[in-house]
Structure 1
C-alpha cells in the first residue's frame, strides 16, 4: 500500500474479515466473548485503534455487542444452509426481554373459529368413528350417575380413574408417571396458565420459541410477564446455543417449549437438544414448561415427553385432548414437578373442580382401547392430508419454503421477504378465506412473509379451491 492510511484501512478490514469468518465457522458461538483487544493487538500485531475500528464495524453490523468492562460478545448466529428460521438467508438478532402485546387480529381469527381452517364456515362432514365412540362413553357415564353424586365437587387433582389412564398412556411413551403426579385441568391453556402462575411473578422473564404458540403470548400478556424470543428452526425447534446465550445475559425464570411438533412449524426436538435444555435448566435454576399437546398427532410413533428425561423435577408437563381428540372436550392435565403442590392450590382458585361425569367417560374411552383406535385412524388421515397440502403448495407459482412436519396439525410456509401476510388478511377475508399470518407467532414483528396453514380438515374441493386462490391474494401484500 502506498500510504499509512491505506495500510491501516487494509489491516482493519483484514481483521474484520478474520473475525467474521470465525463467527460464521462458530469458532466463537452465540453469546461467547471474543479475545480481548489487548490479545488481538498482540496476536495480529495491530494498533489498539485498528482493532477497535474492526470491532466497532462488526458491532454496527449487529454481529457483536460491547459490554462495559467485559469485552465484545457474539450476538448473531449465522443460519445454517437450508435451516428455516422464519427469515431465510438471514441471521436473527435476539432482542432483550420486553412486555407482551398480542395483535388484535388473533381475537378476530379465534372468533371465527378459524385457527385451524381456511374455510371455517364450510359445513362439517360426518363425525369420525372415534368421536362417535367418545360420545357414547360420556353418555354411559352420565347415565351411571347415582344418588347425590351430582351435588358434590370433584377432588382437586381430578378423577383418579382418568389420572390412572393418563399415567398408563404416558408409560407407553417412555415416562413412568404416577397418578398422583397429575392434575386435571380445563384444557392445555389452563394448564400453561397454572404452570406460569406457579413458577413466575409479574415482571419475570420467560423464554419462548420464535416463531412460537400465540396462546402462550396471550398468557404472558395477561400475567404481566416479560418475554425473550429464542430462535427456533422448522426441523429441530428451539436453538439451544441461542438459549444458552440468553440465559447468560438475562435472568430468565422459565422457558416454555414444545419438544414434540412445536407450532407453527411442527419441529421435533432431538434427544441431544433435550438433554442440553435440561442441563441449562439445572445450571441456571430454570423451570421448563413443556407443552406436549401435539405429541399424539404423530404420523409415526409418538415421541417420549421431555418429562421422561427429567431427573430434577424441573419440567412442568402440560397437555390436553384438544388437538388429538376433540377441541370441544375441555379436559387437560398438568404434571407440576416440584411446583405440583402449589399448582393444586391454584387449580382450586381458578377452576375449583372439573366435571366428574366427563372425566369418567373419557377414562372409560381410554380403558376400552377406543382412544388408541382413534389415534391410529387419525394418524393415517393426517398423513394423507399433510402430503396433499404440501403437494398443493409446491404447485404454487411462488418460491416457497414449506416445513414437512412428522406430527402436529400445520405446516409453516415461508414466502419471499417482499410478501406481507398481515396486509393480505382483509383481502382474503373478503373471499371467505381466513389465513393465519406469521407475525401472530411473535411479539417482535418478525415473520411477516410467513403463514401457518393447517391440515386438520380434509382437503375437499372447496378447501383446495381456496388454497389455489391464495397465491393471487398474497400477491396483494407483496411490496
Structure 2
C-alpha cells in the first residue's frame, strides 16, 4: 500500500496536471493540507519536498510552496495513434542495433559502475548454494516441462499476495517473458491471424509478430490509462482479431496503469468476440506504491494468458520467466518442449530459495525506492529542457515517454547521438506505422551519476538544436 506521503504527492501532482494551481500560484498551506487530507505535518512536508525535488514547486520563506513549472511542462504525451487496417509486421532494423549495444535501458551501455546491489549479492549466494546441492548425476537429466515445483509454489504464493489465486500446476517456467509471450502467441494464433497491440507499445512483441507472420492492428494507448478500449472495440467490430497483447501495469514505453473499469470492459469484449488476452505483467512488481492486481485476477472465462519474468524486477541476465496458460496450458507445455526443452534446475531452485527466505521481497522494497528516486531526477531534468515537451510520469516500471515538438526526428538524431557515445531509443521503434518520430523513450533503470546526467544534457542539442 502507498505511504500517506506518496498518496498526497500523487494527489498534488494530479492537481498540477489539471491546472488546479497554475504557474506562480501558491499551493494550499501545510496546515490546510493537514486538515483537508487528514495527514500529519511531517507527511505534508515530505510530499512537498518530493515535488520540489522534481522541480514542480518551490518553497519561499514565510510564504509557502508555489508552482514553478509551466502547465505544458507537466502534461502527459498525447494519444495520437490512429487505428489502421491490419498489416504484416516489419521491425525497424534500428532495433537490432540498439539491442546489439545492450542499450534498451541505458543511454550509456558501456558504463558499468557502482556497487552490486544487496539483492543481487543475496541472489548470487542462493544460486551458488543451489548449484552446490546438486548430487551425483543430476546434471544428466532434463527438468520437467512445467519447471521446478518449488519455484512454481513460490510464484503461486507471490501471486496470492497480489489478489490472484493460481495453483502451481497452472504455471509453466519459461526462458524469460519474451519466451512466454512467444509461447502464448503460438498457442492461440496461426500464421496470418490478426493481433491487437498497444501503440506505442513494446517492440519485443512486434518482433514476435514478425517472426510468426502475424498481422497487427495498433490500438491507441495513452501514457496514463493504457490501451484505448473504445478504439479496440471499434477494431473488433471491423476485423476478426484473434488475440490482444496488453500490459495493464506500467506498460512500456509510457508506464500507464490501466484503470479497473477499462480492465473489466476489456474482459467483456474478450468474451463477446472470443478473444485471447495475452497479459504482459513484467513491470507490476516494481510499482512505486501498491502493487496492482493482475488483469488475470479478474479472468472468469479462462482466456487471459499471463506472462512475466524476473528480468525487470531482479536481473536481465537471469533468463527465467513464467506463463499461466489458461485454456491453452497443455498446448503451451508442449510448445515449451519444442522451443526450449527444459530450464536450468539449479537456477530455479536458487530463485525459489531466494523468494522463500524473504530476500526477493526485501530486494523489491529497495528497488522500488531507488527507481522512484531515479525517475524523479530524470523527470526534473527533462522539465528543464527548452521548448514545448510532454513527459509521462509513471508510478512504476523503468521508463518515461517523451514527446518533443513535431519538427523533431528522433530517428535522424540516432547516428549523431552515437557519435557522442549516447544511445537513444527513438519513438518509431514502438510502432510499425511510422508514427512517433518526435518521441523518445528514456529509462531510469540506472542511477543518474555525473556521466549519465552529462549524456542526458547532450540530448537537447541533438534533438532540439539548443
Q: Same fold (TM over 0.5)?
A: yes
Corresponding position: 1:307 with 2:300: no
Note if contact 1:292-1:319 (Cα within 8 Å) is conserved in structure 2.
yes
What SS does the corresponding residue of 1:93 show, helix, strand or coil? Answer: coil
Q: How does 1:365-444 map to 2 (within 5 A)?
A: 365-444=354-433
Deviation at 1:344, TM superposition (A): 0.3
- Unpaired segments of 5 or more residues in structure 2? 1-74
TM-score under structure 1 length normalisation: 0.81
- Unpaired segments of 5 or more residues in structure 1? 1-81
Note if contact 2:288-2:368 (Cα within 8 Å) is conserved in structure 1.
yes
Q: How many residues align?
A: 393
**Could you tell me which of 104, 127, 133 is aligned with 2:93?**
104
Query: Could you give the per-residue CA deviations for residues 176-230 of structure 1, whole angstroms, max 9, x where no partner exists?
Result: 1100110000000000000000000000000000000000000000000000000
- For 2:282 and 2:125, locate their aligned partners in 1 and report how far apart those are by CA, in whole Å: 24
Q: How does 1:14-413 map to 2 (within 5 A)?
A: 84-87=77-80, 92-413=81-402
What SS does the corresponding residue of 2:77 show, helix, strand or coil? Answer: coil
After the TM superposition, list the runs of 4 or more consecutive aligned residues in structure 1 that deviate by more than 2 angstroms. Answer: 82-87
Deviation at 1:86, TM superposition (A): 4.6
Note if contact 2:82-2:219 (Cα within 8 Å) is conserved in structure 1.
no
* Greater relative CO, 1 or 2 (CA 8 Å, sep 6+): 2
Corresponding position: 1:465 with 2:454: yes
Distance 1:256 1:85, change over 3 A: farther
- For 2:77 and 2:367, locate their aligned partners in 1 and report how far apart those are by CA, in whole Å: 28
Corresponding position: 1:455 with 2:455: no
TM-score under structure 2 length normalisation: 0.83
Deviation at 1:83, TM superposition (A): 6.2
What SS does the corresponding residue of 2:112 show, helix, strand or coil? Answer: coil
**Bigger radius of gyration among the two:** 1
Deviation at 1:475, TM superposition (A): 2.6
Deviation at 1:123, TM superposition (A): 2.5
Note if contact 1:85-1:231 (Cα within 8 Å) is conserved in structure 2.
no
Note if contact 1:187-1:333 (Cα within 8 Å) is conserved in structure 2.
yes
